[in-house]
């Protein structure tokens, strides 16, 4: 779709360079990396440099916002990641669903190391985990949940990482939030688009109508029934042209301007708001 491809999202290599440096600085203190991914788009919400940045460290995946994603798709994602050898867990930090599996998952991936520490008489040593993820993926919400929403105990490690806050959670685990900003895959147009649908990338970067049309294309492909139900459409609304579909939705909602034309800007923001607000149900943009 040309409409979808016509804008390039800017990103700033300088930010990533600073983050790279900060992560390198803390890495020697990290035992395991907990990479947070948005359950609705686990591939698009990955930082493209994550593997390289944290090479050699054990890794677990936490699929956040699972309350907004398609449950069946999330189950398949978790299974697919596990099959590739990376333990994964779906969580909902609004209610806390799933978070109890986090510490056991860490302890399991660290089992050999823990046994070794035990042998060396370092049994009480905490597991230090880096909570890594792109902005808005839910890092603070997850850390808050893990510290039970209460006041997190903050450990100072003077001289080493003065500005880094460690959060002590149960089960002998300490968490560190990503130092710096791990940008998403801005250069990947589809990934950027999916993140814009979810609101992780701000709208002003993209044209609202273009974005809504691109979202409608994805929804028509995977969740056509939801569109039919929500906007009282029939099959004739789906003629393979999402711009037409947007107009039909606008017309159905009575969003007309003088002369009887559809106010497509309003229709677009309605579609985006309703998707983001969960009015179309739980939707996964990417399927494994």
For tokens 């591939």, the residue is 43
247 part of the interface to ligand G4P, by CB under 6 A: no
Choices 50-58, 131-139, 149-157, 183-191; region in contact with ligand G4P by CB under 6 A: 131-139
Sheet harboring 166-169: ordered strands across? 88-90, 59-64, 32-38, 127-132, 173-177, 166-169, 154-155
270 part of the interface to ligand G4P, by CB under 6 A: no
On whether the CB atoms of residues 226 and 283 are closer than 8 A, the answer is: yes
In the complex, the smallest distance separating the C-beta of residue 202 from ligand G4P, rounded to whole angstroms, is 12
Q: From residue 114, how far is each of 27, 29, 30, 131 by CA, in Å?
A: 18, 15, 14, 20
Residues contacting ligand G4P: total by CB under 6 A: 15
Which tokens sit at 225?
């029934």
For residue 84, what are the contacts with CB-CB under 8 A and spacing of at least 6? none
- Residue 66 or 264: the one with the smaller Cβ distance to ligand G4P is 66
38 part of the interface to ligand G4P, by CB under 6 A: no
In the complex, the smallest distance separating the C-beta of residue 131 from ligand G4P, rounded to whole angstroms, is 9
67 part of the interface to ligand G4P, by CB under 6 A: yes
Strand partners, 128: 174
In the complex, the smallest distance separating the C-beta of residue 242 from ligand G4P, rounded to whole angstroms, is 26
In which region does residue 20 sit, left (phi positive, over 0), alpha (psi from -120 to 50) or beta (all else)?
A: alpha
The interface mask with ligand G4P, positions 89-108, x = CB under 6 A, is ---xxx--------------
Pairing of strands 166-169, 154-155: antiparallel
139 part of the interface to ligand G4P, by CB under 6 A: yes
- In the list 104, 123, 135, 277, the residue contacting ligand G4P (rule: CB under 6 A) is 135
In the complex, the smallest distance separating the C-beta of residue 190 from ligand G4P, rounded to whole angstroms, is 21
For the chain, helix, strand, coil in percent to 5 are 45, 15, 40
In the complex, the smallest distance separating the C-beta of residue 27 from ligand G4P, rounded to whole angstroms, is 20
Interface with ligand G4P (CB under 6 A)? 64-65, 67-68, 92-94, 133, 135-141
């Amino acid at each position: 779709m040309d409409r979808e491809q016509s804008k390039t999202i800017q990103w700033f290599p300088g930010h990533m360079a600073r983050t790279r440096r900060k992560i390198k600085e803390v890495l020697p203190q990290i035992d395991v990396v907990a990479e947070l991914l948005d359950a609705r788009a686990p591939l698009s919400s990955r930082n493209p440099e994550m593997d390289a940045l944290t090479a050699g460290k054990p890794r677990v995946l936490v699929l956040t916002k699972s309350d907004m994603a398609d449950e069946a798709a999330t189950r398949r994602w978790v299974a697919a990641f596990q099959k590739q050898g990376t333990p994964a867990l779906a969580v909902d930090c609004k209610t806390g669903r799933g978070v109890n599996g986090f510490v056991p998952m860490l302890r399991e991936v660290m089992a050999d190391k823990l046994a070794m520490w035990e042998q060396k008489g370092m049994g009480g040593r905490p597991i230090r985990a880096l909570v890594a993820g792109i902005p808005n993926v839910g890092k603070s919400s997850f850390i808050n949940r893990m510290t039970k929403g209460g006041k997190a105990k903050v450990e100072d490690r003077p001289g080493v990482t003065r500005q880094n806050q460690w959060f002590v959670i149960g089960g002998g685990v300490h968490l560190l939030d990503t130092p710096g900003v791990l940008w998403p895959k801005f250069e990947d147009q589809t990934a950027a688009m999916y993140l814009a649908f979810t609101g992780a990338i701000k709208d002003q970067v993209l044209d609202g109508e273009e974005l809504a049309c691109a979202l409608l294309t994805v929804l028509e492909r995977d969740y056509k029934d939801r569109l039919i139900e929500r906007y009282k459409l029939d099959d004739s609304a789906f003629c393979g042209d999402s711009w037409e579909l947007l107009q039909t939705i606008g017309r159905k909602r009575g969003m007309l301007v003088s002369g009887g034309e559809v106010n497509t800007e309003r229709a677009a923001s309605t579609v985006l708001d309703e998707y983001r607000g969960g009015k179309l149900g739980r939707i996964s943009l990417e399927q494994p």
